[in-house]
Structures are given as C-alpha cells and as structure tokens.
Amino acid sequence: MTVLNIEHQDGVCVMTLQRPERHNALNTELTRGLLQALQDAHADDHCRAIVLSGSGKSFCAGADTTEFAGFSQDTNQATVRAELTASLHAAFSSVHKPIVSAVWGNAMGGGAGLALACDMVVACADTRFGYPEIKHGICPAIVMANLTRQVGIKRAFELVSTARMLDGHELYAWGLAARVTDTPLDTLEAAIAVARTWAEYPPQALSATKQLFYQTLDLPFAEGLDTGRRRNIEMRRYAQPKH
C-alpha cells in the first residue's frame, strides 16, 4: 500500500497520509512523497485547491522516530533528513494553490507542524495537538519558526516548553483552526467543502491572493503596501465586470 493516497475531485486534490498503523508518522518515504505531491499539485493546472488529511485514528503523530536510531552516529544521514523535512515545510507556502488540513486524533510535533503549515485548519473536537519533544530530550526545531509566527511568542513558548496538548476547541479559541467538528468524517467533509469553495474562484485570483499573503507577511508596513500596490496593477487585466 502506498504511504500517500492522492484523489482528484472537481479541481480539489485530496492528499491522505497512509500509515495508519503508525498514526501516519512521517518516515523518509512519506516525507519525500508528500513533498513531491505538493510540487506536482503546484504545477497541475487542473488542481485549484488541496486538502491534507490522515487515515485511521490520527492526522499525523510527527516524525517516525524508529528511523532515527543511527542518526547520532551518522551526521550525513541526519543532515539529509533535516533538509528534506525543512523543504517539505517550506513547500506549503510556496505552492500557489491554497491548502486546508483536516485534523483529528494525534497531531503532534512534526504532525502539528504539518497542520499549521497549511493555509487553513479544520479540526475535530478530539484532536490532540502539541509538541511533546521536550519529554524526549529534543526540541521541535524545524517547526518552531512557523509556530511562533502563527501563535505568538508567549503561547508558542508554553507549547514547546511544557508539552501542553490542545483539543479542537482550544485550537479554535487560539485562532489556529477555522472550524471545529464532531467526528473525523465531519472534519474531512468540512475541509473538502472549504477547498471546493476555493476551487470555484478564478485561479489567477486565488494564486495571487496566496502569493501576496505570504509575500507581505513579514514585510514592514510600507514595503507590504508597495508590494500590494504593484500586485494591484498586475491584477487589473483579470478584473471581471460586475453584473
């Protein structure tokens, strides 16, 4: 069985992590496959929006630590894996199609990072979201930058230093989830509904909106305003008259 299932539905690409026996923990094969799938979706004109979900009881339990046994003795192997993981997390904002995660069960460490790397999150009430790395003598290194940008300094430090777990309702209260649902099936359906809404809009507008969003995210106000001004001029040729 493939570790990643990809299904196309009317302009929506649904990517499902397929390692349910390991709570969809990210081994090298799955990490590489997901990165390639995102790159393929970016280049696919038929894909308008992306849904990322897990199979079985969880979204993603983080990195598959069974692969890490020899990393302390093999620096090159650890470097290759770290670069692959960093490339995966960087890909989410560089893909021009919007991405929504459907999250339930465990979303921990790298799995929590995957959920937040998506542009929107739909969470089931039973979600267990957090960064338990501190308990295992390590830290959530690669996912840290995105976490602090989205949660804020004090709350981010609480999560990474205490291993506190958040459920779906807390994710919503913290502004990290756009929707909270009762069951995994509801979660997936709600995420697909979001993606289908995106898929109905003109693709150039959707792509420009996402690109500009991330371009201006860390810019000083004046630079962000100027970037928006230039994109405004570019988009005039696509403007559709109102009826």
* Active-site residue, selected from the candidate residues 7, 67, 133, 170: 133
> Residue for token digits 């897990």?
54
Task: Quote the crossing angle between the two packed helices 110-117 and 144-151, to the nearest 10°.
Answer: 50
Q: Both tokens of residue 190?
A: 């709600």
Please, are residues 150 and 176 in contact by the beta-carbon 8 Å criterion? yes
Helices marked H in 95-152: 110-117, 144-151
Question: Of 91, 6, 23, nearest to 60 (Cα)?
Answer: 23
Helix-then-strand count for the chain, H and E: 9, 8
Q: Which two tokens stand for residue 114?
A: 């995957």
Q: What distance in Å separates the CA atoms of residue 48 and residue 64, rounded to the nearest whole number? A: 31
Indicate the pairing of strand 49-54 with strand 12-17.
parallel
Sign of CA dihedral 53, 214, 129, 123: negative
Q: Is 133 a catalytic residue?
A: yes
Show which residues are catalytic.
133
